[in-house]
Amino acid sequence: MSSVGSVTGWGRTAPSTSLLVRPRTHEEAAAAVLGCGARGSIPRGLGRAYGDAAQNAGGAVIDMTGLDRIHSVDADAGVVVCDAGVSLHRLMQVLLPLGWFVPVTPGTRYVTVGGAIGADIHGKNHHGSGSFTRHVRALDLLTADGTVHTTVPGTALFDATAGGMGLTGVILTATVQLLPVHTSLMSVDTERATDLDDLMARLTATDHRYRYSVAWIDLLARGAATGRSVLTRGDHAPLDALPARLRRAPLAFRPATLPAPPSFIPEGLLGRTSVSLFNELWYRKAPRLRTGQIQRLATFFHPLDGVPHWNRIYGRGGFVQYQFVVGYGQEETLRRIVGRIARRGCPSFLAVLKRFGDADPGWLSFPVPGWTLALDIPANLGGLGAFLDTLDEEVAAAGGRVYLAKDSRLRPDLLAAMYPRLADFRALRAELDPGAVFTSDLSRRLGL
């Protein structure tokens, strides 16, 4: 099944027109790759990459959501084998009643397993568990010549595919190791941090006690309050922590859904004044310290999933999500960037700071040990591109990098400094796919 349509990332910027192909079998996927034409093809999942990673102007975009079978679940060993088009939401529906959870989840469960591998997604537990592909035991990859390769961690093809943004081939199936849980609820501790230094001190001193940890940060606060935050950490709740009414169905998964925003929202709704007010209220309503609160999984991990099409709130202009990481020892760089964002008045109400653990083996995987900050900014903010360019330069000079799955505007000259295995990635692609069968707007823009 195919059609021509306009495609954007979740940020709704820079749309491009492509031939959209939706295979339902591995054979149809191979035919789509072999018949993609001169402009090539790129696999796409549920479209949650923020920028242009899953777009291909004038070429083919292979929608993998038609390949959505769960082939097997080993409920004793906690291993699932599934198609790349299966969403994390679907895995949770199937696996939670069996006492298993996905090993890593980002801020949305509406990503596919193939997308999770291609972007090597991370979550609130990276400091202890690493990124998604650290838990992938094997995958079947369809390459440019139509061959299917079964590849495992530690091989060049696997490590290039982990975080490779779909540019090594089409992931068809994956074998994933799961996390055992006793309930579908979370035990959560919440506390306020008065400024950025207070936040970093709390995270550094106590993160090892928690499986999951994240801080919402007020990037409009200035002066002594610069970097004030709400720190939220937790773990899967044990059965004996639940009140009696929840013990009757401890593994039930029932995420709530709110009405979607209207299709038209006036530009400028999320300006400095409105976001500043929101941030003030959000910080003030948070408890100074609360421990052991029982929360639903969706509340803790995926609060925005309860609002369908929440990306519309930024209006027709869309938004840019900017995420970078700088290593431990580069705290002054982080302080300087947070201060610059605050002085610039970037109206971001979705801003989070986390700590990363050990680097992952993917050649283009984003996480390295250090501090990562992610923020959403309306794309129509005056001078935004030039401002973010200067932040990119600071990040690169500090040995850091930006996240390709969220990027929509990085300058290509900074890429090699951020990703030291870039030359290896390019060499493998040239050998594996000399005709550039796998191509995206991102790969053209950055010369990947």
Residue 198's alpha-carbon distances to 124, 225, 227, in angstroms, are 19, 10, 9
Q: Computed over its alpha carbons, how large is the radius of gyration of the chain?
A: 21
Q: What is the CB neighbour count within 10 angstroms for residue 244?
A: 6
The reported pLDDT for the residue numbered 264 is 58
- Between CA 111 and CA 247 the distance in angstroms is 30
Tokens of 355: 């700590």
The total number of residues written for the chain in this structure: 448
Burial 308-340 (b: 16+ CB within 10 A, else e): eebbbbbbeebbbbbbbbbbeebbebbbebbee
- Given the structure tokens 């709740």, which residue do they identify? 237
Nearest CA to 352 out of 310, 326, 321, 308 is that of 321
The reported pLDDT for the residue numbered 266 is 61
Positive or negative, the Cα torsion across 64, 422, 35, 28?
Answer: negative
Nearest CA to 443 out of 179, 55, 79, 149 is that of 55
Print the SS3 string covering 83-150. ECCCEHHHHHHHHHHHCEECCCCCCCCCCEHHHHHHCCCCCCCHHHHCCHHHHEEEEEEECCCCCEEE
The reported pLDDT for the residue numbered 376 is 95
pLDDT per residue as tens, the chain (448 positions): 789 999 999 999 999 999 999 999 999 999 999 999 999 999 999 999 999 999 999 999 999 999 999 999 999 999 999 999 999 999 999 999 999 999 999 999 999 999 999 999 999 999 999 999 999 999 999 999 999 999 999 999 999 999 999 999 999 999 999 999 999 999 999 999 999 999 999 999 999 999 999 999 999 999 999 999 999 999 999 999 999 999 999 999 988 776 766 665 565 567 788 888 888 899 899 999 999 999 999 999 999 999 889 998 888 889 999 999 999 999 999 999 999 999 999 988 889 999 999 999 999 999 999 999 999 999 999 999 999 999 999 999 999 999 999 999 999 999 999 999 999 999 999 999 999 999 999 999 999 9
Print the SS3 string covering the chain. CEEEEEECCCCCCCCEEEEEECCCCHHHHHHHHHCCCCCCEEEECCCCCCCCCCCCCCCEEEEHHHCCCEEEEECCCCEEEEECCCEHHHHHHHHHHHCEECCCCCCCCCCEHHHHHHCCCCCCCHHHHCCHHHHEEEEEEECCCCCEEEECCCCHHHHHHCCCCCCCCEEEEEEEECEECCCCEEEEEEEEECCHHHHHHHHHHHHHHCCEEEEEECCCCCHHHCCCEEEEEEEECCHHHCCHHHHCCCCCCCCCCCCCCCCCCCCCCCCHHHHHHHHHHHHHHCCCEEEEEEEEHHHHHCHHHHCCCHHHHHCCCCEEEEEEEEECCCHHHHHHHHHHHHHHCCCCCCEEEEEECCCCCCCCCCCCCEEEEEEEEECCCCCHHHHHHHHHHHHHHCCCEECCCCCCCCCHHHHHHHCCCHHHHHHHHHHHCCCCCECCHHHHHHCC
How many angstroms from the chain centroid is the CA of residue 302?
12
Contact partners, residue 210, CB within 8 Å, separation at least 6: 189, 233, 234, 235
Positive or negative, the Cα torsion across 295, 296, 300, 305?
Answer: negative
The reported pLDDT for the residue numbered 385 is 95
Reading across the β-sheet that carries 319-327, which strands appear in turn? 289-296, 185-193, 229-236, 212-217, 351-356, 370-378, 319-327, 401-402
